[in-house]
Amino acid sequence: MDPLLVAALCVCSVLTLLIVALAAVLFVRSALDGAESKDRARILGALAEVIRAVRGRR
């Protein structure tokens, strides 16, 4: 395989991973914005369940 193609695929996969991670962080921050501390555990549990469902592990 061409080394330039391999490098391009690596860069593309790293960028995709960074975009997905940033989206997850923004998703959590927007869900927790303005929430009381007693509700945060339940909110985070629900978000984890949604992320698992999107990834196909549920």
27 within a domain of the structure (yes/no): yes
> What is the extent of the structural domain holding 52?
21-58
Q: What is the pLDDT of residue 14?
A: 94
Q: Could you tell me if 26 and 33 are in contact, meaning their C-beta atoms sit under 8 angstroms apart? A: no
11 within a domain of the structure (yes/no): no
Q: What is the pLDDT of residue 58?
A: 56
Number of domains into which the chain is organized: 1
pLDDT digits (tens, 9 = 90+) for 16-56: 989 988 988 898 888 888 888 888 999 889 888 988 888 78
Judged against a pLDDT cut of 80, whether residue 57 lies above it is answered with: no
38 within a domain of the structure (yes/no): yes
Tell if the pTM clears 0.75, that is, is over it. no
39 within a domain of the structure (yes/no): yes
Q: What is the pLDDT of residue 34?
A: 85
